[in-house]
A = this chain, B = another copy of it.
Amino acid sequence: MKFGILVNEGPYNHQAVDSAYQFAKAAIAKGHTVSRVFFYYDGVHNANKLLEAPQDERQIGKLWAEMAKEHGVDLVVCVAAGLRRGLKEETLAEGFRISGLGQLIEVGIQADRMMTFGD
C-alpha cells in the first residue's frame, strides 16, 4: 500500500514529527511504500541542516534523511511555508527538496492512504 504523510510541526517542539517518523518506519518495515512526506507549516524546520540536538538525543533531521536514502521516500518541503520561516536552499539538509503545495495534493490523489501528523 502507498502512503502519503503530511507533517505540520517542527522537530523537538512537538511529538507529531516523531509519530510521523515512527509510523513511516513501521509502514516500511511491513512492506508498504511511503511515497512522499510533505513538510508544511512549521514542519519545514525538519529540513534544516543546522539542527544539532544534544548528542544523546534523537537526531530527527538525520533520521528523515536516512529513511529517504534507504527507502526512496520523497521528502518535500513547502516553498512558501519555508520562505515565511527562513527555510531555504542554503540551509536545506541533504535528502530533502523544496517544491510547491501541489506536491501535497498530488500525493493525496496518488497514495492509497493520506496521514496527517500535527499539533
Interface residues of A (CB under 8 A from B): 10-13, 41-42, 45, 48-54, 61, 83-88, 90-91
Q: Would you give 9 A-B contacts (Cβ < 8 Å), ordered by A?
A: A10-B42, A51-B84, A51-B85, A51-B86, A52-B83, A52-B84, A52-B86, A52-B88, A86-B91
Answer whether A85 and B12 are a contact pair too, CB < 8 Å, given A42-B42, A91-B91: yes
**Copies of this protein chain in the complex:** 2
Residue of B nearest to A87 (CB): B50
Q: Are B42 and A84 in contact (CB under 8 A)?
A: no
Residues of B within 8 A of A61 (CB): 86
Bound form: Cα–Cα A61–B87 in Å = 14
Residues of B within 8 A of A54 (CB): 83-84
